[in-house]
Amino acid sequence: MATIKDIANKLGIAVSTVSKGLNGASDISDDMRQLVLDTAVEMGYASKKMRTTTTRKVCIFIENMDYENIDQFGYDIIVGFKLSAARRHWEVTVVPSSLTLQTEEKYDTYMLKNGYSGAFFLGFTLHDDWVMQLNKTTVPSVLLDNYIERNNHVGYVGTDSDEGIDLAVDHLKELGHKKIAFLNGSKNSMVSDQRYSAYVNSMKKHGLSLDENLIEFGYYVPDCAKYHVPSFLKSGATAIICASDLIASGVIAEVKKHGLTVPDDISVIGFDDLPIAAQLSPPLTTIRQDRIDLGKSAFLLLDGLIHNVSISKLLQRAKFIKRQSTAPCKIK
């Protein structure tokens, strides 16, 4: 591992100058400080503070996700992460991300500068600057619902869609449904791909035939229901599995618009078990992602990466939550 002396030799400057650069002293120029930091990152330098166990800091970067109130998706994930981190005596900082943050500085530099040993990314897409830098980072990093290939320092945490969707199909088949439609989230999302193949596999496993008129990609918003529910109904669907609770809320509204009743005419199942799921009318049968556990698992994975255990994927069990939006199929 590179030392302060290595950095000084490489740059041809004094060890004390390198030290000032790394510690943010004010008596060197901003340019010199930046050069020292960039060189330190390039050479894989980790400060003594980062290597010893006295200061142990990780952070959560969050964007495109609400988390400040208890009924928002990110809230419990952060709580779970902090609970697990506290048990191991790690300090956690939540850093709302922005375009500026990501363009101002390289990810590795930011992490070194702030003394973070690792990070958990919530709500990012593969097009974010920092996420694009993750295929080369040496900083332990965990992504929710996104996967980076071939980098031992990066892991992915998520909920097991296979088992989740399978639980939904299982339940509907028990109730006598055969024409089970699937309204997915947006294309080109890893989670949508997983839920799509989970649906296909589970339908086959249950001996139910696949009908392409009953499978659609939409978006992870309620509004997408109006584009797809009409054709589902036309094609004879008696049940609709949705890739999220928000989609399901739109589906219930759309079914009602057609003068039909949930669950008497059409059964609807969501995914996530957001706090709103139980408040819908009728209360939504759904597949729970345990968000506290997701947060705990994310820390567990990050802790593994920090200790050089190269975990690539960690999946959480999905749980079936029966409420009132599903009922026996009336059509024989």
Among 3, 9, 152, 231, binds a second copy (CB under 8 A): 152
Token pair 């199929």: residue: 329
| Residue closer to a second copy (CB basis): 39 or 159 | 159
**What's the one-letter identity of residue 140?**
P
**Beta-ladder partners of 183:** 216, 242
Neighbours of 117 (CB within 10 A): 21
165, two tokens: 């969707």
Neighbours of 61 (CB within 10 A): 25
| 49-57, 119-127, 186-194, 300-308 -> range binding a second copy (CB under 8 A) | 300-308
89 is an interface residue for a second copy by CB under 8 A:
no
309 is an interface residue for a second copy by CB under 8 A:
yes
Least gap, CB of 247 to a second copy (angstroms):
24
Strands 180-184 vs 239-242: parallel, antiparallel or unpaired: parallel
160 is an interface residue for a second copy by CB under 8 A:
yes
**Beta-ladder partners of 187:** none
313 is an interface residue for a second copy by CB under 8 A:
yes
253 is an interface residue for a second copy by CB under 8 A:
no
293 is an interface residue for a second copy by CB under 8 A:
yes
Backbone φ and ψ of 156, nearest 5°: -120, 135
Among 39, 102, 297, 326, binds a second copy (CB under 8 A): 297
| Residue closer to a second copy (CB basis): 11 or 314 | 314
| Residue closer to a second copy (CB basis): 87 or 258 | 87
171 is an interface residue for a second copy by CB under 8 A:
no
Least gap, CB of 80 to a second copy (angstroms):
8
Question: Is residue 282 within 8 Å of residue 253, measured between CB atoms?
Answer: no
Q: Following DSSP, what letter does each residue of 114-173 receive, concatenated?
A: HT-SEEEEES--TTSHHHHGGGT--S-EEEES---TT-TTEEEEEE-HHHHHHHHHHHHH
163 is an interface residue for a second copy by CB under 8 A:
yes
| Residue closer to a second copy (CB basis): 281 or 310 | 310
Question: Is residue 120 within 8 Å of residue 298, measured between CB atoms?
Answer: yes
CA gap 74, 5 in Å, rounded: 43
Question: Is residue 137 within 8 Å of residue 117, measured between CB atoms?
Answer: no
131, two tokens: 């996420």
Among 315, 321, 323, 324, binds a second copy (CB under 8 A): 315
149 is an interface residue for a second copy by CB under 8 A:
yes
| Residue closer to a second copy (CB basis): 149 or 212 | 149
Neighbours of 322 (CB within 10 A): 11
Token pair 């300090």: residue: 91
200 is an interface residue for a second copy by CB under 8 A:
no
Number of residues that bind a second copy (CB under 8 A): 25
**Beta-ladder partners of 58:** 92, 118
316 is an interface residue for a second copy by CB under 8 A:
yes
CA gap 261, 199 in Å, rounded: 24
| Residue closer to a second copy (CB basis): 275 or 304 | 304
Among 296, 325, 326, 329, binds a second copy (CB under 8 A): 296
Contact footprint for a second copy (CB under 8 A): 84, 149-150, 152, 160, 163, 167, 290, 293, 296-297, 300, 303-304, 307, 309-317, 319
